[in-house]
């Protein structure tokens, strides 16, 4: 399940980005699997200027899927910083009670 996290944007900017991300997920056929999260946090530089540095983070257990999403976001005209995170795994809610970590 890919997750596109929208981090550090104002509410109107985040809502606009969410709309674009959702359209991209639809074009990629991922609407049933993907989620979009708006993270209302401050993302600023570490210097005294505290310059805003909002970004998008694309997370998934599938590296190729991440890169497809990032490319599609670029083709959609997004002009934001993007980081990606390859997850080791994901546990669905129905399997949580019987979860055993891999050995």
> Domain holding 84: CATH number?
3.30.429.10
Specify the DSSP class assigned to residue 4: E
- Which domain does 33 fall in, by range? 3-88
Phi, psi of 93 (to 5 degrees): -55, -40
Q: Would residue 99 count as lying in a domain? A: no
Is residue 95 in a domain?
no
How many domains are there within the chain? 1
Q: Per-residue pLDDT for the chain (103 aa), expressed as one digit of tens each?
A: 899 999 999 999 999 999 999 999 999 999 999 999 999 888 889 999 999 899 999 999 899 999 999 999 999 999 999 999 999 888 888 899 999 888 8
pTM of the model: 0.86
């Amino acid at each position: 399940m890919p997750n596109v996290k929208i981090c550090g944007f104002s509410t109107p900017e985040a809502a606009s980005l969410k709309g674009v991300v959702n359209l991209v997920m639809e074009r990629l056929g991922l609407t049933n699997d993907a989620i979009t999260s708006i993270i209302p946090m401050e993302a600023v530089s570490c210097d005294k200027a505290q310059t805003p540095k909002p970004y998008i983070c694309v997370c998934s257990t599938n590296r190729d899927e991440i890169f497809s999403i990032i490319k599609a976001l670029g083709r959609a005209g997004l002009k934001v910083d993007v980081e990606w995170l390859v997850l080791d795994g994901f546990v669905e809610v129905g399997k949580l009670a019987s979860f055993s970590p891999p050995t």
